[in-house]
Structure 1
Amino acid sequence: MFATLFVLLYVAHLLADYPGQTDHQAKHKADGDAAGWRANLAHAGTHLVVSGLALLVGQIALGLELGLLPAAAALLWIAGSHAVIDRRWPVARWMVLARQAGWAQNGGSAHVDQTAHITAICIAALALAA
């Protein structure tokens, strides 16, 4: 069941992060002002909804048996972790700690960002499958 949940949540992530994210959200979600927080939370909300729909499709089409509370906890984890990662400072701090300044200046931040998101999705899928 883990693999199925992971694939469903990964596809939901891709849908929410790319076609489901507005240019405004992408540009401002890390800003420290109220507009930045609104953009960030709206984008995290998109992840919550799309991931919820993916789990619902898994239940209906594949017969997955997911409890309401575990599913809700997984969705909150996905949305919450996404919001924190997208503030950009966690990725920047990691890259400093890992001595990746050169890679950060040459586009590496996007890869570290996506790795953090996929790790969070993996944790959610593991928790749901347990």
Structure 2
Amino acid sequence: MFAEIAFLLYLGHLLADYPFQTDHQAAHKAGCGRQGWTANVSHAATHVLLCALLLAVGSALLGWRLPLLPAAAAVLWIGATHGFIDRRWPVAAWMRIARQAGWAAHGGAAHVDQTAHVLALTLAALFLAV
């Protein structure tokens, strides 16, 4: 069941990060003030909604019996971690600590960002599969 849950959560992540993320969210989700936080929270909420929807569809089609509270906790974890990572400073801080300034200057932050998101999704899938 872990593989199926992880796949559906990853699909939800890709959908929320690419076809369902608006230009405004992408441009402002790391910004300060109301505009930045609104873009960040609305983008994170898209992740929560899509991942919850895919878990519900997976449960219905594959006969899973996911308990409601752990499933809700998992998708809230995904939303919270996604919003945190997308503030951009955590990725920049990691890359400074890891001495990856050269890689950061050549597009590496996007890869570190996506890896952090996949780690959070994997932890959620492990939590639900146990």
TM-score range, shorter chain: over 0.9
* Count of aligned pairs between the two proteins: 130
Deviation at 1:65, TM superposition (A): 1.2
SS at structure 2 position matched to 1:78: helix
Q: Structure 2 counterpart of 1:72, which letter?
A: A
- Displacement, 1:64? 1.2
For residues 55 and 38 of structure 2, what CA distance do their matches in structure 1 show?
25
Q: What residue in structure 1 maps to residue 98 of structure 2?
A: 98
1:65, 1:5 → 2: CA distance? 12
Equivalent position SS for 1:13: helix
1:58: which partner in 2? Answer: 58
Query: Are 1:9 and 2:9 an aligned pair?
Result: yes
In 2, distance between residues paired with 1:74 and 1:44?
A: 13
Q: TM-score, normalised by structure 1?
A: 0.99
Unaligned runs of 5+ in 2: none
Equivalence map 1:40-119=2 (5 Å): 40-119=40-119
Q: Runs ≥4 in structure 1, deviation > 6 angstroms?
A: none
* TM-score, length of structure 2 as denominator length: 0.99
Residue identity over aligned pairs, in percent, reads: 62
- Aligned-pair Cα RMSD in Å: 0.4
